[in-house]
A and B are shown apart, each in its own frame.
Chain A
Amino acid sequence: GNSVTQMEGPVTLSEEAFLTINCTYTATGYPSLFWYVQYPGEGLQLLLKATKADDKGSNKGFEATYRKETTSFHLEKGSVQVSDSAVYFCALGGYQKVTFGTGTKLQVIP
């Protein structure tokens, strides 16, 4: 079946540092890939998505590229802010099931 593996946290960065959160997947068919963000005490909301190989999703300074050759969808941001502190989930949307990674907690300190 499908699976998603993302780097374990927590990740602690200073403000304005570069962020990378790794995500790799295994899948059959042609899934879509997503990054969701969960702020403290809230539900999940979509951060960005990519629906096919080589697509780049971007939003709020975050980017991720759907790499079929390396089965990866790493999340990056050039300069993080304190307000980016949250839990980030990589997810794979298949025709039927949706599979999430275990989440990576990011803490950005001033």
Chain B
Amino acid sequence: EAQVTQNPRYLITVTGKKLTVTCSQNMNHEYMSWYRQDPGLGLRQIYYSMNVEVTDKGDVPEGYKVSRKEKRNFPLILESPSPNQTSLYFCASSLAGVSEQYFGPGTRLTVT
């Protein structure tokens, strides 16, 4: 089954404790990205990757890191989480930026 998986689905952590949210796709897509969803703000792109070893900033990259060492995986790293990063995070993949995005189920992160 074609899918995007994210782990964990729910995470409660404390300020400053490094965390990683994993994302994996099995569709051989070249384009992957991370979004955060906040009430009233819709989805905002954090980082995107157009291919292996190619990553670039989206609209809200501050406080986040990503890497793309393999085509299928695109982890999101918060090295020092802060409460303003409490949000619902979605990973997505597609053939390209102009193509349909396939979304993961979301990760709800709470930083206290």
B residues in contact (CB < 8 Å) with A: 33, 35, 40-45, 48, 50, 56, 58-59, 90, 92, 94, 96-101, 103-106
A43's partner among B41, B58, B90 (CB-CB below 8 A) is: B90
Tell me whether A102 and B40 are in contact in the complex, defined as CB-CB below 8 angstroms, given that A43-B90, A44-B90 are known contacts.
yes
- In the complex formed, the residue of B with least CB distance to A4 is B42
Tell me whether A103 and B42 are in contact in the complex, defined as CB-CB below 8 angstroms, given that A51-B98, A96-B50, A98-B97 are known contacts.
yes
How many Å lie between the Cα of A99 and that of B97 in the bound state?
A: 10
Instruction: Say yes or no: is A66 at the interface (Cβ < 8 Å to chain B).
Output: no
In the bound complex, residues from chain B placing their C-beta under 8 Å from that of A101 are 42
Count A interface residues, CB 8 Å: 25
Instruction: Say yes or no: is A89 at the interface (Cβ < 8 Å to chain B).
Output: yes
In the bound complex, residues from chain B placing their C-beta under 8 Å from that of A49 are 100
In the bound complex, residues from chain A placing their C-beta under 8 Å from that of B40 are 102
Asked whether, in the complex, the Cβ of A102 is within 8 Å of the Cβ of B41, the reply is yes
How many Å lie between the Cα of A94 and that of B58 in the bound state?
A: 12
